[in-house]
Amino acid sequence: MQSIVSTGKNINNAIHTGLEILGVSKQEVNIEILRHESKGFFGINAKNAVVKLTKIADDLKNVKRKAGATLAAMEELATAVAEEELVPPPPVTDEKIAVRANREELLGEQANIVGMAWVSDGQIYYRSSENQFPLITVDGCLELFKNGRPVEEKTTIARQGDYFMMKLDTAEEESTWQMTMDERKLHVFLRVEPGWRKTYTVPDVEPAKHITLSTEEKKVPVNTLTYEKIISELGTMGVIHGFNQAEIVSAMQAKKAGTYEIAAGIKPKPGRHGWVERTVDVDIKNGLKEKADGSVDFREMKTIPAVEKGKIFAVVHPPVPGECGYTVTNEPLPAEQTFPVQLKLGRGTMLVDDKIVATESGRPHIEKRGQTVHVAIMPKLTLPGNVDLSTGNIRFLGDIEVAGNVEEGMTVESDKDIFVRNTVSKAMLIAKGSLSIGGTVISSAVSVGSSNIIEAELTQQLDVLQKNMDQITAVIRQLIYSPTYKEMAFTGAGIQPFLRILIEKKFQHFPPTAKRFMDMVKHTGDRLPDDEWTRIAAAMSQIFFTLAKEAISIGQMESLSHTMKKLLGAKQPAVSSESIMLVSNALNSNLYCSGDITITGKGCVNTKIYSGGVLTIKGTVRGGKVFGRLGVNVQKAGAEMGTATVIAVPDDQTIRMDTVLEGTTIKIGQMKHTFKETHFHLTASLNKERALCLTKND
């Protein structure tokens, strides 16, 4: 509460003196006349006028309570202050001021507080006597005024007739904010950090001969951001489209730091590239029927899809263009260009207008890689007995079905699917479609998919390198705006110094992984179906391992990353959707499939398995190393004698195990864990902090 008792020769003079002390106008206070002036008898016992001024904004309850002081107390106060004039302090704006009223204003004639001072409702009161003066010490964020003048000493005395006023400190910090726009000018973000206002109050102090004035701090958030400031900055940035009024209001009212999207453009709507629509079913369903006991009956084969001559089995559709978008500055954003399908007609097919027609009877085959689509009609080769020396190696463009075994040293290769009803022993099987083996695979190499084991390993390494390239490029993009880079760029040094330091400090694993990749491409390049592998390896060598005279730019790195993404996109989607391997059991073998692999029997022993999809082992994996690019599900992992068993997946996949024995090692991305004891029903994955965590299955 801000109030003051003022005296003067008359009412107007007293009011004027009080207004100057409070630093306000007459309209901002309530005026209470405590006593009118009296001239006395021939000037004897003349009394000055006394008024009380209270700011209107103060607590009305306190004003009313103070107005109820007794007339006797008012007269004593007037007597005390009439002997000397009040000296008004300099005006103080927007500060809380507490003023002493009178040493007997509240407690009247209570003799037990003689010589004491106290604080009530932000005002100093005291009652002095001839032989005892109260002491007042300042210890807080305030300045004490005595009779209108600042008190320089830390402790002062209160004598009859003194009046005190407290000037409380305040502090304020304005809000800070920053407006940013993304590179495509599709989003405008406003980062707001509200300011604060710090005020102080003086707590009540009980009557004592020596009191200490302390303060209590109160800090409240203050948001000084205005709508005009936001609109002005948006205008400076050229933003004229897509305002989000709700977010703007939220930013203005924010009491905590936050980021708000205050404007958004319209993204272009993508079109659709040309595509080939199938008019008949060309996929092989699961050709194996499961028995009641859970085992697989390999004698129950479903019919392979087939078409007759003259049948239309696909339709070619033209590309559909996208729709243009707009930036927040109202500039057009063209949609990405769409392209027609590149159709490759194979055996037994013909294009009539936009229709693909079979010219031979057989199984229709449609394979898509990027915008290139291969179509053909495939026949089927059936062997009633074993594949051995009497038949020789079997290589066929269509499906192959072997009713017996594949004997030692034999090779069976197909551009489509292979079906073997019995055992494969010390042989090699290669299928580009799917493969099913009803017996056990012993000391054999089996490869399924449009890729091969070498290309699969390269794809796995390239995926890791490409993610690292994106991370490195993002960090360098931040660094190139620094003054240090601008100075180096002026000398022609380019990004090489930053790139070298960044790899040494943060990406130490990148050089060895890149070198393994380049060495593998160098030694197996003639067996790779795509020249992009060689071009990527050469570009990586130039950027990271060659002391070139020309400066390396961030554009070169982004171009390389884009090429890597494009090759990964061409390899991975086609692989996982086309190929399936079903094997009963495997012993001392190498199994590769670019899609899913399922071991349907007792399991595998000392076998190396690579699955480009989901690897499912319904029995036991004992020894060897198995990998599933889309996850691994194992009923039992490990061996009683501690044979080394490794189960691996990428960093974004999971491993599920019903039983895992001591000594088994799991690897998720770069994180490894070896079990020290047997566990049951576990799922292993990486959490958000990229740490390996094990959870119990429900």
- Give the DSSP H or E segment for 229: helix 227-237
Question: What's residue 140's pLDDT?
Answer: 72
626 and 583 co-located in one domain:
yes
Domain presence at residue 269: no
pLDDT of 469 > 80? The answer is yes
Residue 187 Cα to chain centre, angstroms: 17
DSSP state of 629: T
- For position 475, what pLDDT does the model report? 84
> What DSSP string describes 552-595?
P-HHHHHHHHHHHHHHHHHHHHHHHHH-EEEEEEEES-EEEESS
For residues 133 and 201, state if they share a domain. Answer: no
Is 113 found in the same domain as 23? yes
Residues of the chain with pLDDT > 90, as a percent, come to 40
Domain boundary among 513, 535, 562: 562
Domain range holding 644? Answer: 380-451+577-696
Assess if residue 570 is contained within a domain: no
Quick one: which of 61, 56, 52 has its CA closest to 7? 52
In a domain, 497, yes or no: yes
User: Could you tell me how far CA 366 lies from the centroid of its own chain?
Assistant: 40
Kindly state whether residues 682 and 627 are assigned to the same domain.
yes
In 3D space, the residue among 5, 33, 9, 20 whose CA is nearest the CA of residue 105 turns out to be 5
* Spatial CB neighbours of 328, under 8 Å, sequence gap ≥ 6: 181, 185, 186, 187, 188, 239, 240, 241, 242, 263, 264, 265
**How far apart (Å, rounded) are the C-alpha atoms in residues 281 and 269?**
31
Q: What is the Cβ-side half-sphere exposure of residue 601, based on CA atoms within 13 angstroms?
A: 17
Residues 10 and 137 in one domain: yes
Q: Does a structural domain hold residue 555? A: yes
- Of 145, 168, 191, the position where a domain reaches its end is 168
Q: What is the pLDDT of residue 108?
A: 42
Claim to verify: residue 638 and residue 499 sit in the same structural domain: no
pLDDT of residue 598: 95
* Within a domain: 569: no
pLDDT digits (tens, 9 = 90+) for 623-659: 999 999 899 999 999 987 767 899 999 988 999 999 9
Query: Letter for the amino acid at 452?
Result: N
306: tokens are 């087939």
What distance in Å separates the CA atoms of residue 99 and residue 5, rounded to the nearest whole number? 8
Q: Does one domain contain both 605 and 659? A: yes
293 and 361 inside one domain: yes
Rounded Cα distance between 554 and 494, Å, is 9
User: Which pLDDT score is estimated for 525?
Assistant: 65
Do residues 602 and 558 both lie within one domain? Answer: no
- The verdict on residue 310 lying in a domain is yes
Measured CA distances, 623 to 170, 265, 597, 644 (Å): 74, 56, 17, 5
User: Are residues 535 and 618 part of one domain?
Assistant: no
Same domain, 109 and 63: yes
User: 229 with 359, same domain?
Assistant: no
Task: Specify the pLDDT at position 369.
Answer: 85
Asked if the structure places residue 272 within a domain, the reply is: no
Q: Model confidence over 543-564: pLDDT tens digits?
A: 888 766 667 777 888 888 888 8
Number of domains in the chain: 5
Residue 541 belongs to some domain of the structure: yes
Span 448-473, average pLDDT: 80
Cα gap 24→16, rounded to integer Å: 10
Q: In terms of pLDDT, which residue wins out, 92 or 376?
A: 376
Amino acid at 50: V
* Residue finishing a domain among 168, 198, 225: 168
